[in-house]
């Protein structure tokens, strides 16, 4: 129970008025960058780092990590209300969250997300506090081959998003994979599919594609059918109906476990865990047809999972000094700038600091829950604003957002192009989420495949001789075969779910 | 209805083109300051990478104190122009008015490596170097339980086992990759390159036992070396950091491979020499300021000064050497 003493000690430090203030500032800024499309947690933390130069290291890290997990809460809001993911991990939430908003249940979607995020975040922190080090050692065994198999499993789960037609789903998914090719070839370093434009060297930014395909296309699509009689229903509170509580809490439980485990894998991100959770929820649901039409489980599971992942991905940072995602890498930079070296030494030499930060994250999660539950109803009112006022505003915010990603006007134009593509994808009923997710996963899939093959001297055996990798591959095969068999038995059951996004 | 459906996509496209047009005009400065009195207004420093990284942090540390040393106490404003592996921002610098009010925080990659690619519109000679401020050598590390302990062990191992030793880097076509390719041509050994996105994932794979070695910038490896989980074998660069005094440089072992990853200030080539001199003198003083040294230390680096002339020589040499290597591996 030594950890418990240390944790209580950490609380004593984190609860000084000064640290509490920085914690509140951090999570509020985090919420804000999460809500703003284009401004992600990476940019939010990076921009604020210079402000922390003069601060106490503990306060500085408390504030910066507040931005990190605060953004996960904020990203949900825009997904639900206006169908534009605030950050990558919230793409999945658009699917059912926005449907709920259209039924006047935006408050419920946001309320459930806040509760799920809280449970997922706190559980991950308990893991970080009590069982972090042994878990981190295990996670190190995830090398390129294991990562490749995990990504393959992730792609498999996309089937759950395919909607009416598997063919259309594949078209959308392959479009995303093709987009992920643009940029610099990860092995030779030569450029490919850049059309001679240096703007494409770094690949096509996910944020730009997501804002175009989801956001701009939504504006075009709505403007196109302007006199839709459908009036948004009244906001009906923020808690699920009585009979919905049990399945919701179960989803939150599953999302926590899944998200926590995925967060430990170096390089795996919250996008993957949200996707995996959505697929799992759809699989175990008694009523898979409701997915895509406003299933609460489709919001609760993924939202919980992405917060659990962002919490548990701090475990490799604190215990091994290894950042598992770009945002965590920025936080690592902040640690070093304040003279603290994350890794095994951190708990030995700066134990006070480490525990104060962990304690502050508990406090920050409570603050976020308290801020979000009452706000859920307030935010939900946004969905009631008439389209002719809301759409130009969204247009403005997305354009500013696209510019802020890299201070580049080119990106605004690129986003517009994707907006037009997204408009036609909606008209043709191609599932946009499949495109956006394969864009994120595609480049990771490719580099881990090529890394594995470089290590094995070109032999594919490396994927089948390593226990973790082969387990993941078998799992992928089982899902694939299971889906095909289920499809043969009842074609309707497989393709009957209509996802309108 | 049909017409309506078409109107909005077209409107969006027109809007996009209009915006793109605005961007190209915005970079030029209106009036050039009188040279004798330079500078009379704030100087813009373009950082071609995202905020928060090492280059950006170093630029901000310098910019924060530059007004103390610049004539007329003018300030330096940072503009981050990320993208294209640093080439987008540097292209902005080339196209800026050569009046000394737009300078760039350049690194070796976008100046001496990417300039060999057809897609990059500028060449190294389109710049006038002002001052080199930072240089970082690269270090080859292995896991501490590896049987390889010295440079000689390593050389013997890779000679005996061609194409077996795998090493991770922060990415293909970057300084570390080119350094190793250069070493391979010069010593005749054969090793296998495994590129990652950044130094940290490469080190993660090494610590997890998936690689035999990694070639990364010294600040990335030093914490793990001090922790005892990694062992340094050799350094490629022009100098050794304090923490790695006992590790041999490749040049000490008779291998002529020594590119540092450098960072320095550059101006468009048509900027007058007296303006460059004002900038050089002011930033040299800023670089010696204890507050800047302290900030640099925090981001794991240290000032490594070179004058405009020495800096120019480094650039010429690196550009030539990198060109040879890129040609040999078919990237040119």
Burial class (CB in 10 A: 0-12, 13-18, 19+), B60: buried
- Gap between the Cα atoms of A79 and A97, Å rounded: 7
- pLDDT tens column, B192-239: 999 988 788 888 889 989 999 999 999 888 888 988 999 999 999 988
Task: Classify residue A498: in a domain, yes or no.
Answer: no
pLDDT in tens, A129-138: 787 767 777 7
What secondary structure, in 3-state letters, does A299-337 show? HHHHHHHHHHHHHHCHHHHHHHCCCCCHHHHHHHHHHHH
Contact B173 A189 (CB under 8 A): yes
**Radius of gyration over alpha carbons of chain A, in Å?**
22
**Higher-scoring residue by pLDDT: B119, B259:** B259
B210:A417 CB<8 A? no
Distances (CA, A) of A8 to A175, A356, B74: 51, 9, 50
As a whole number of angstroms, the distance between CA B129 and CA B213 comes to: 35
Chain A residues with CB under 8 Å of B164 CB are 457
Query: Over chain A (501 residues), what is each successive 10-residue block's mean pLDDT?
Result: 78 88 89 74 71 80 86 81 76 85 83 88 84 73 86 77 75 91 80 83 81 82 63 62 85 90 75 84 82 86 89 79 71 75 72 85 86 74 71 80 80 93 90 83 86 89 91 87 71 45 38
Same fold, B41-135+262-328 and B138-253: yes
Residues B163, A457: C-beta atoms closer than 8 Å: yes
Contact A191 B117 (CB under 8 A): yes
- Residue among B54, B60, B210 whose CB faces A455 most closely: B210
Q: Which residues pair with B76 in a beta bridge?
A: B43
Q: What is the pLDDT of residue A445?
A: 86
CB contact under 8 A, A194 and B223: no
pLDDT of B24: 40
A5: Cβ contacts below 8 Å, ≥ 6 apart: none
Give dist(CA A200, CA A279) in Å, integer.
32
The per-residue pLDDT for range B22-44, each reduced to its tens digit, is 444 433 343 444 446 888 888 99
In chain B, which residues have their Cβ closer than 8 Å to the Cβ of A341? Answer: 223
Residue B315 buriedness (CB in 10 A; 0-12 / 13-18 / 19+): buried
User: Which of A185, A191, A329 would best serve as a mutation to test chain B binding (most B beta carbons within 10 A)?
Assistant: A191
Angle at B14 between CA B12 and CA B20, to 5 degrees: 105
Interatomic CA distance for residues B258 and A318, integer angstroms: 34
Q: What is this model's ipTM?
A: 0.73
Measured CA to CA, the distance from residue B45 to residue A280 in angstroms comes to 49
pLDDT at B34: 44
Beta-carbon neighbour count of residue A364 at 10 Å? Answer: 28
Q: Which CATH code is given to the segment(s) B138-253? A: 3.40.190.10
Flag if B118 and A220 touch (Cβ within 8 Å).
Answer: no
What is the domain count for chain A?
Answer: 1
Percent of chain B with pLDDT over 90: 46
**Homologous superfamily in CATH for domain B41-135+262-328:** Bordetella uptake gene, domain 1 (3.40.190.150)
Nearest Cα residue in chain A from B167: A455
**Cα A219 from Cα A278, distance rounded (Å):** 26
Q: What are phi and psi of B46, to 5 degrees?
A: -85, 125
Interface with A, mutate which of B51, B81, B330 (most A CBs under 10 A): B51
pLDDT for B81-93, tens place per residue? Answer: 877 778 888 988 9
- Element holding B139 (H helix, E strand): strand B138-143
- First-to-last alpha carbon distance for chain A, in angstroms, is 49
Q: Of A42, A336, A423, which has the smallest distance from its Cβ to B9's Cβ?
A: A423
Cβ contacts of A455 on chain B, cutoff 8 Å: 166, 192, 194, 210-211
Tokens 């550009």: give the residue.
B319
d(CA A73, CA A327): 15
Pick B12's closest partner by Cβ from A189, A216, A455. Answer: A216
Quote the minimal CA–CA distance from A222 to chain B in Å. Answer: 10
Give the count of Cβ contacts less than 8 A between chain A and B: 195
Report the residue of B87, B204, B228 to disrupt the A interface, i.e. the one with the largest count of A CBs within 10 Å.
Answer: B204
Residue A347: domain span: 2-228+239-492
Q: What is the strand order of the sheet B192-195 is part of?
A: B192-195, B166-169, B213-217, B138-143, B230-236
Q: Is A234 inside a domain boundary?
A: no
Q: Where are the domains of chain B?
A: 41-135+262-328, 138-253
CA quadruple B199, B202, B207, B211: dihedral, nearest 10: -140
CB-CB contact of A323 with A332 (8 Å) = yes
pLDDT at residue number B161: 93
Angular region, A339: left φ>0, alpha ψ -120 to 50, beta rest: left
- Interval B50-83: pLDDT, tens: 776 778 888 988 988 888 898 888 888 888 887 7
pLDDT at B180: 94
Does residue B20 have a pLDDT over 70?
A: no
Region label for B134, one of left (φ > 0), alpha (ψ between -120 and 50) or beta (otherwise): beta
User: Using alpha carbons only, what angle is made at residue B88 by residues B86 and B93, rounded to the nearest 5 degrees?
Assistant: 100
Question: Quick count: other Cβ atoms within 10 Å of Cβ A187?
Answer: 20
């Amino acid at each position: 129970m030594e950890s418990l003493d240390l944790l209580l000690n950490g609380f004593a430090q984190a609860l000084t008025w000064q640290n509490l203030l920085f914690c509140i500032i951090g999570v509020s800024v985090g919420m804000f960058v999460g809500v703003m499309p284009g401004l992600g947690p990476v940019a939010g933390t990076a921009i604020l780092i210079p402000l922390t130069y003069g601060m106490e290291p503990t306060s500085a890290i408390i504030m910066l990590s507040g931005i990190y997990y605060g953004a996960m809460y904020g990203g949900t809001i825009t997904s639900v209300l206006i169908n534009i993911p605030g950050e990558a991990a919230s793409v999945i939430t658009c699917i059912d969250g926005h449907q709920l908003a259209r039924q006047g249940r935006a408050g419920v979607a946001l309320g459930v997300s806040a509760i799920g995020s809280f449970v997922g975040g706190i559980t991950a922190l308990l893991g970080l506090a009590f069982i972090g080090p042994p878990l981190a050692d295990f996670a190190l065994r995830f090398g390129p081959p294991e990562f490749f198999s995990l990504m393959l499993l992730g792609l498999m789960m996309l089937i759950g998003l395919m909607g009416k037609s598997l063919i259309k789903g594949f078209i959308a998914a392959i479009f995303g994979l093709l987009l992920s090719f643009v940029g610099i070839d990860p092995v030779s370093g030569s450029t490919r599919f850049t059309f001679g434009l240096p703007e494409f060297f770094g690949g096509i930014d996910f944020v730009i594609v997501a804002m175009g395909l989801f956001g701009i296309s939504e504006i075009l699509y709505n403007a196109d059918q302007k006199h839709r009689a459908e009036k948004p229903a009244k906001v009906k509170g923020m808690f699920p109906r009585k009979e919905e509580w049990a399945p919701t809490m179960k989803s939150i439980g599953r999302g926590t476990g899944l998200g926590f485990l995925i967060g430990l894998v170096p390089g795996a991100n919250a996008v993957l865990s949200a996707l995996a959770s959505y697929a799992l929820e759809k699989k175990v649901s008694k009523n898979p047809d409701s997915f895509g039409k406003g299933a609460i489980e489709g919001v609760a599971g993924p939202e919980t999972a992405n917060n659990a992942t962002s919490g548990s991905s701090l475990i490799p940072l604190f215990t091994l000094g290894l950042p598992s995602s770009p945002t965590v890498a920025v936080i690592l930079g902040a640690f070093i700038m304040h003279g603290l070296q994350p890794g095994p030494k951190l708990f030995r030499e700066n134990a006070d600091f480490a525990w104060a930060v962990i304690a502050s994250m508990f406090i920050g999660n409570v603050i976020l829950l308290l801020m979000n539950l009452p706000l859920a109803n307030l935010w939900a009112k946004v969905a009631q604003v008439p389209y002719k006022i809301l759409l130009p505003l969204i247009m403005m915010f997305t354009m500013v957002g696209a510019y802020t990603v890299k201070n580049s006007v080119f990106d605004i134009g690129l986003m517009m192009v994707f907006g037009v593509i997204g408009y036609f994808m909606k008209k043709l009923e191609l599932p946009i989420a499949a495109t956006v997710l394969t864009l994120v996963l595609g480049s990771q899939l490719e580099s881990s495949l090529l890394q594995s093959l470089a290590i094995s001297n070109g032999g594919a055996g490396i994927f089948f001789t390593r226990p973790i990798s082969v387990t993941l591959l078998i799992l992928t095969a089982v899902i694939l075969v299971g889906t095909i068999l289920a499809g043969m038995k009842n074609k309707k059951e497989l393709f009957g779910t209509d996802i309108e996004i | 209805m049909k017409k309506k459906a078409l109107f909005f996509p077209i409107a969006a496209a027109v809007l996009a083109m209009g915006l793109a047009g605005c961007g190209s005009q915005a970079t030029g400065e209106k009036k050039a300051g009188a040279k004798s009195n330079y500078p009379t207004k704030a100087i813009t420093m373009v950082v071609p990478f995202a905020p928060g990284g090492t280059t950006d942090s170093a630029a901000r540390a310098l910019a924060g104190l530059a007004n103390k040393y610049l004539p007329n106490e003018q300030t330096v404003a940072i503009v981050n122009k990320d993208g294209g592996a640093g080439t987008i921002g540097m292209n902005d610098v080339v196209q800026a008015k050569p009046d000394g009010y737009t300078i760039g925080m350049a690194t070796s990659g976008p100046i001496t490596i990417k300039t060999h690619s057809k897609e990059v519109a500028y060449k190294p000679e389109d710049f006038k170097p002002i001052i080199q401020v930072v240089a970082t050598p690269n270090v080859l590390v292995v896991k501490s339980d590896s049987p390889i302990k010295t440079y000689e062990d390593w050389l013997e191992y890779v000679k005996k086992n061609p194409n077996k030793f795998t090493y991770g880097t922060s990415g293909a076509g970057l300084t570390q990759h080119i350094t190793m390719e250069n070493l391979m041509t010069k010593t005749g050994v054969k090793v296998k390159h495994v590129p990652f996105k950044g130094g940290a994932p490469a080190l993660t794979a090494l610590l997890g036992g998936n690689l035999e070695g990694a070639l990364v910038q010294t600040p990335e490896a030093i914490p793990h070396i001090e922790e005892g989980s990694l062992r340094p074998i050799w350094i490629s660069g022009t100098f050794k950091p304090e923490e790695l005094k006992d590790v041999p440089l490749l040049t000490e072992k008779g291998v002529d491979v020594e590119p540092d990853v450098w960072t320095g200030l550059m101006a468009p080539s048509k900027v007058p020499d007296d303006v460059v001199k004002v900038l050089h003198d002011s930033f040299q003083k800023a670089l010696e300021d204890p507050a800047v040294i302290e900030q640099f230390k925090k981001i794991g680096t240290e000032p490594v000064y070179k004058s405009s002339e020495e800096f120019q020589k480094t650039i010429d040499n690196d550009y030539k050497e990198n060109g040879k290597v890129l040609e040999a591996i078919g990237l040119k």
